[in-house]
Each structure stands twice: as structure tokens, then as C-alpha cells.
Amino acid sequence: ELQKMRQCSVEHTQKIVDENKKLRFDLQSMTHELDARSKELDELAAQTDCDRRKLELEKQRNATKSNHLMLAEMEYQKANENVRKLLEQQQKEKETALNNAKKLEEQFHVKHNLQLEIKHLTGKLEVIKLTPGNETSETGKRIAELTEELQDKIDEMEYTENYNQGLILQEKKAAVELQEARKFVLDALQDLGGQTSDKAHIGIRMMGELDSKAFLNVCRKYFPNDDAEVGSVEICSKWQNEIKNPEWRPFNGKELEVINEDDMKLKELKEVYGEEAYAAVVTALMELNGSGSSSGSRVPFPELWNQREGRKAKSKEAVQHAIKLFKASKRRR
């Protein structure tokens, strides 16, 4: 499976390199054409004074286009280099994570077997020591051998424990690096945000942010349309502030995965504003508690989102989408 992932990564990277070569060739061809046209204009300028001004103007326009092409190529190379580095970084992180997971599983089995062997040897020693008539020199020699073997197993067990701790630290480091890579993609998509559409497969979603539409239907029952929209925004803002309040903890016990349906504020919310508003607030609470903020704060944050499937986007999906957006912007230029 790891070999298959590596092969896919190599093919994907080669595809990007080939596209870069083609783009560079096209840009160079256009530049050569403009240079040839400029030389041609120089020759025509020498032939007549009447057309000289027009020719000079066209030369200036060509020079401007040439400069724009150069800037476009430089910008493309810069952005493409960032994408290339990100792809390489993510590939290394995936390989590291897979290798660490495999090693951890192997070490788990090693540790499990060592524990069984230590238990077995310890029991065996106790049986020999407590069996009557086993006070011979041969028995003493056997006890010494088993004691030495037991100590070897204990030493091996300690080494395995230390090795596992090292793997766990590596896995934590890889997780941090993966988060940094996702932030890089998220920032890139935000920079290209003006070019996205509602139909885009991958986008950015503000986790834990309430939508005033959740309160709009109930407000329309009591207010005219314009006033209902204003009212829904105000109510939405009020509940967003409630969510941000760290002293409000509508959960069962210390766990943050289960909502306390008997919480007074939530019961009031459901009774006054209905199921839609209640579901929106509960969803926001769960999203923000699942973010793992060390400070305990519940503040909305951006997340890469697969809008088609309604889930967090995988890093690979987000990178591919960023590349598509960049290519689209390149074609428009």
C-alpha cells in the first residue's frame, strides 16, 4: 500500500512538472514572437517618417505586454514552487506517519509477547523454588539460568518501552507538521477566495459560527420580513456570544462529547426558537469543543471543508483544489 502511495505521488508530481515545462515553453514562444515583431517594427520605422509614431506606439504596447508576461511567469513560478514544496512535505509526512504506525503496531506485539514471557518465566521460577526436593546443584543452576533469562526479558521490555515513546513523539511531531501544511493550504485558498464559487467542491467553512438563517423562520412568525432579518441577526449574535462564554458548559460531566439536554439555556432556546436554532447552536458547540483548544475558548475558526460530502477536507483534496484555482487564474491572466 505504501509503495502504491509513493507511485501515485511520483506520477502526480511528474504531471505537474510536465505542465510547468509546457507553460514555460508557451511563454517563451510568445516572448520570441514579440521580440521578432519588435525587430520588424524597427525596420519599418526606418522606412517612413509618416508611420513612425504609430509604430512607436505599437512597440510600447508590445513592450508592456512583454513585461506583463514576464511578471506572470515569475508569479506562476513562485506559486508553483510553493505548491511543489507542499506536496513534497505532505508526502514525507504521510510516509513518516505510515512508518510510525507500522512500527508502533510491531512494537505492540513485541511488548505483548515480552509481557507473556516475563509472566511465564516468573511463574516457572516460583514453581522450581517452591517444589520440595529441588535443592540440588542442578536445580540451582537452572534457577540461575532462568533468572538471567528473566532479567534479559525485563531489559528488552524497558528498551521496547523507550523505543515506543520515541515513536509516539515522532508521531506527535508529524501531526504538528501536518497541521502546519493544512494551514498553508487554507491560507492559499483564502488568498484565492475571490475566485471561488458556491459550486466549488472544496472550500473554507467557519467552524462554530452560527448562521442567522437558523433564527429567521421563527422571527418571520412575529415580525415583518425586513424586521425579521434584522431580528434574526441580533438573536444569532446573542447566541454566538453565549457559545463563546467559557463559563457556560452545557455538557454531561467532564466529557465534551455529550450535550446535556437538560441545560436550562438550551431548553429555553428550543422552546422559544425551535429545533432548527437548537440544532445550529448544539452543532456549533460540538465543533468548537472538538477543536481541542488548550485555552478552553470557543471561538469560530476556519477549516478546510468538503462541501459536497459535508466533512473536513483531506489535505490531498485541498491541495488539488488549490492547484485547480491557480490554473484557472493563470488562464484568465
Taking the C-alpha atoms of residue 256 and residue 250, their distance in angstroms, rounded to an integer, is: 9
The domains of the chain are located at 2-197, 209-299
CA 56 to chain centre: 53
How high is the pLDDT of residue 264?
93
How high is the pLDDT of residue 277?
92
How high is the pLDDT of residue 148?
74
How high is the pLDDT of residue 141?
67
> What is the helix, strand, coil percentage profile of the chain, to 5?
75, 5, 20
**Taking the CA of residue 39 as centre, how many other CA atoms within 13 Å lie in the half-sphere pointing to its CB?**
5
How high is the pLDDT of residue 134?
52
How high is the pLDDT of residue 89?
66
One pLDDT digit (tens) per residue for the chain, 333 residues: 656 666 766 676 667 667 767 777 877 888 888 888 888 877 776 666 656 677 777 878 877 777 777 776 676 666 666 666 666 666 666 666 667 667 666 766 766 776 677 677 677 667 666 665 555 556 666 667 767 776 777 777 777 777 767 767 777 777 777 777 777 777 777 776 544 555 567 888 899 999 888 898 888 888 888 888 899 999 999 999 999 998 898 888 665 568 888 899 999 999 999 999 999 999 999 888 866 555 567 889 988 888 888 888 887 787 777 777 767 666 655
For domain 2-197, the CATH class is mainly alpha
Q: Locate 183 and state its grid cell.
A: 494551514
CA 136-140-146 angle, to 5 degrees, is: 140
Taking the C-alpha atoms of residue 256 and residue 321, their distance in angstroms, rounded to an integer, is: 33
CA 166-168-313 angle, to 5 degrees, is: 145
* Strand bridging mode 311-312 / 301-306: antiparallel
Taking the C-alpha atoms of residue 304 and residue 328, their distance in angstroms, rounded to an integer, is: 20
How high is the pLDDT of residue 194?
45
